Chain A
Amino acid sequence: MSDVDPNDMVYCPYDKAHKMLRKKLQQHIIKCREYFKDEIELMVCPFNKAHLIPEPEFFQHTKTCDDRKIIAHYQHNAAAELVEDTKHEKIETEENWDDDDVPDYDPEAYASNANVLRSAKGIFPAQRKAFVKEERKRLLEEQSDDDTANDNINLPQAMPIPTRITTSTSNRSAPYKLSNRQR
């Protein structure tokens, strides 16, 4: 609702040329952290994750950080007394799940093998392109390799019926991961 105020603009801690709205910073940091991970190392403030500080200034920052009060308040303020009479006898239960050890469901493993459209949000454009290509292969068994190679084919053409399960791997559990990036 509020109007855009120039004061609401912030700079990326990795690259001062990156200027953005305050609310975009968190998203942006995820990207830049990956992008600059070999070049710039910043320390994360223990009180606020958005504070990324170069090492020389880090110690000073931890002393002056605004959010230090979260811990300071905790330390300097008497904690609640422990009351014994809130405790009760162990509840007798109909079931006991304590020792259950069931494998957890992994939606990604399912989706990568099912006949479904998968989204390619939150990854670098080059990865997205590769992902889309992979997906076409997976779902449509499309042999065409490049969009450009396809130019001469007459369209519209009927697509083959989508089939389930084809080869696919993805590195989507780690968005913004650059693999063969040249720097």
Chain B
Amino acid sequence: MGDQERGRRRPFSAGDSAHEPNAKLFRGQANSSASRTLDPRNAPSPKDDRPSTSRQAAACETNTPRGPATGGGNGSNRVQKRMDRFEIVHTRPVEVVSKVGKEGAPIQLLSNYFRLNTTPKWRIVHYHVDLSPEIELLRVRCGILSDHAAALGTGYLFDGKQLFTTKKFEQDITILNGKSKQDINYTITIKFVGFISTAEERFLQVLNLILRRSMKGLNLEQVGRNLFDPHAKVSMREFSLELWPGYETSIRQHERDIMLCSEIAHKVMRTETVYDILVRSSQNPARHQEEFRMNVLGLIVLTDYNNKTYRINDVDFTKSPLATFNCKGRDISFVEYYLTKYNIRIRDHKQPLLVSKNKDKAQNTNANELVILIPELCRVTGLTDNMRSNFQLKRAMADHTQLNPARRIDRLRTFNRRLQTTPESVRVLNDWNMKLDDNLVEIQGRIIAPQKILFLNNRISAGDQADWTRYFRDNQMFTTPSQGLDRWAVIAPQRNSRDLRTLLQNLNQVARGMGFQIRSPRETMIYDDRTGSYIQALDDCARIDPQLILCLVPNNNTERYSSIKKRGCVDKAIPTQVVTTKATQRGMSVATKIAIQINCKLGYTPWMIDLPLSGLMTIGFDIAKCTRDRSKAYGALVASMDQQQNSTYFSTVAECSAYDVMANNLWPMMLKALRQYHREHQKLPARIVFYRDGVSSGSLKHLVEYEVKDIVEKLEAEYQRAGSTTPPMLAYIVVSRAANTRLFTSSKQNPPPGTVVDDVITMPERYDFYLVSQAVRHGSVAPTSYNVVHSKIRLSPDQIQKLTYKMCHLYYNWSGTTRVPAVCQYAKKLATLVGTNIHAIPQNALEKKFYYL
């Protein structure tokens, strides 16, 4: 519905300079009623003096229904008309709108994109290939077709079913004969499907196919979707792991050019086989089978001999590799089969067999084909939880996977050079007239100036590295409870009483410096560290109606943590703070953090930023899966109140289905936030910025249809009900952290926090920008991508970018900037806490406090 509004744009003013030397200008004429009725298809203007008007009307008239068959308007001499465009006197002033901002210090950046200097200029012909008798094996299919290479035109592409080439056969259906190496005759039926012109999206798919094809020349192996280089593998024997470096590539239309995005990826390959698990789990003979099953079922395994992955669905203990199966008309044992086919000698002839349902095949042929696998030959993929929590493993992996900008640039250039010098790859690219630029794309970015951090009596600059930890020593927090923390309780095991002393002493000391009064708490000593004892003590403490309960725990046991949180949030509505004894020994810096957290958990604000908008509500939304019940998920919504007067947040959680990508009950949650805002400020927010996390770019279109339009409609209704004449100015921004984009400064460093890129590597069909908000010390920074899918906020791109950056300064668990706006980070934190620990909806009484920090 975005288009109906456009008629109401404000008139042309000098500020919208029409001669801005900016590439991203478009001339959209404000709709006059005259141009609205003039539809270029119904009234194609034959004369040269009108086309531009109709064209622009057309550009604006996106909501006119139209039949698919009606062709487009004007004739062929459009080049001529284009020249005339600039001389036309418009009845209404032209507005120039661009998504490129202007503010900030310019910075020269490099990004991991390569331009495609030339692309195929021909129309590509798309065929469908059938073989009879049918054969599934891709290699055989390609082999049979390759005999006709000359007839198919140079550099044809064949993916097993679809054939792309530049040559057009006379007939729609061409029949050829082929022979496989086994001397079986095949009939090849090549059916014409259509042309792919350079003007449609499928063309990009073909370009991607061509690239894939040329990358094959580098001897890469495909694992999953990406290509990896097994020859350059790094083995980490102490963890029985291998790291395969690889490339994630995609060719897409970017702001002006078609570009190749290439990112260095790593595949973690475990050298451990299922057989190793078998050996490990046989310690207890009575439970051996059961234990092995438990460890193995559901695992994804990779078989080296054909480089395929399978999911293990069952274990067959009754059979062994000596069992026979029917292969090409004769019975053959697995041992013999692997020896003759792959030259692999199976060592243990007594191991059980694994059974896997091949899902892809089941979908294609409707036959639930079972695949039998040998444990010895199945490599386990993925990391176990145990490995994930292994700090040393993480460190060792980070050494290889976290590349600093210089190394990453180097690797990208090597990739480019290899691609352009390996004869095999060059041939494919040349055949298709594809030429890749040698250099990484250069972009002009901008750095948003460091923001001001507001303390009670002071405002300081966040600095170039956007870190203000050190300022807590001599600045008071922005708001603290006027009575201080006067009614609170601590629970600690008897034998940790010394730790408790230090903690309380440190807390008191740092809090005083921050202008936060902490009185002595009611202390409850327990005699052991069992969960039950904590809960009992918690119930006991709850009787004095404390503002907060602090639990000192000996270690981070998840079960105990969950129980404490659950009791506090669901049963009692008391914020709880869990501190491990290890943290108490870390002295003042940790005590400072805890003091800030406690202040937040009471609902007060440690610091603020200089926010130039009043009546603004920022909302963050995220979904986290429930760890206990896989079909459930929790969606959390965190909304700020008017932060110029009362910088507090409102939060709400709802249970939703884990299957749904888009939120079904977003509106009830948003309504709660709006009601709360009204309760506090006696009016509804004038502007709303919605930061939505957790949507992939694939479902963007659906998101707009399903979520955004609904919200817009309901907001309008709600504002009308509240007696407001105008709906709120809303911006719906999709935040995504998973982008493959990297940015480097020209001196091969990470760009500083506040760097914005809104041109060249962005997408023309989106209102998007990249923002580096966080300071990164290891590896190379991944900018966060923001996509404004709905914008009626009446702010300039500069302002949206700046506002977003400001919002990254408000995550109170971290005295620096975060990767995403604070509301998003809070929503994520809350959703994760509820999904992994609480598993129930917390009490409403806590909704204004950061009990989830």
Contacts and interface: CB of A to CB of B under 8 A. Distances in A.
Interface of A: 1-4, 8, 21-23, 25-27, 29-30, 46-51, 67, 69-71, 73-74, 77-83, 85-88, 90-91, 93-98, 100-122, 126-127, 129-130, 132-143, 145, 147, 150-151, 154-159, 162-177, 179-180
B64 A85 contact: no
B62 A171 contact: yes
A153 to B, nearest CB: 8
Contact of B765 (A25, A118, A133, A158): A118
A156 B66 contact: no
11 contacts: A80-B847, A80-B848, A88-B479, A104-B767, A104-B792, A105-B767, A106-B2, A107-B766, A156-B166, A169-B61, A171-B62
Contacts of A2: 630
A179 B63 CA distance: 11
Contacts of B795: 97, 100, 102, 104
A80 B63 contact: no
A170 B58 CA distance: 8
B647 A141 contact: no
B73 A116 contact: no
B849 interface: yes
B199 A117 contact: yes
B792 A109 contact: no
Nearest to B26: A110
Interface residues of B, number: 138
B799 A23 contact: no
B764 A116 contact: yes
B51 interface: yes
Contacts of B168: 151, 154-155
B368 to A, nearest CB: 12
Contact of A130 (B1, B69, B197): B69
Contacts of B258: 117
B660 interface: yes
Of listed A51, A91, A122, residue having the most chain B CB within 10 A: A91
Contacts of B666: 49
A91 B846 contact: no
A101 B662 CA distance: 31
A167 B676 CA distance: 48
Nearest to A165: B82
B603 A162 contact: no
Interface of A is mostly: loop
Nearest to A49: B664
Given A77-B843, A168-B58, A159 B10 contact: no
Give me the 5 closest cross-chain CB pairs, A-B, nearest first: A130-B68, A156-B122, A180-B67, A139-B199, A122-B701
Contact of B55 (A100, A134, A154, A167): A167
B802 to A, nearest CB: 9
A50 B40 contact: no
Nearest to A178: B65
Contacts of A83: 603, 848
Given A78-B844, A169-B41, A136 B200 contact: yes
A86 to B, nearest CB: 5
B664 A101 contact: no
A98 B200 contact: no
A105 B845 contact: no
Given A104-B791, A104-B794, A114 B764 contact: yes
A140 B72 contact: no
Given A86-B604, A175-B701, 10 more contacts: A22-B657, A74-B652, A88-B605, A104-B793, A107-B765, A139-B198, A139-B199, A155-B168, A157-B123, A159-B121
B827 to A, nearest CB: 16
Contacts of A67: 654-655, 664-665, 668
Contacts of A26: 660-662, 664, 702, 706
Given A2-B630, A106-B97, A135 B199 contact: yes
A96 B612 contact: yes
Given A85-B479, A86-B479, A167-B51, A80 B62 contact: no
A48 B664 CA distance: 5
A78 B98 contact: no
Given A74-B844, A158-B122, A109 B78 contact: no
Given A86-B646, A173-B62, A142 B197 contact: yes
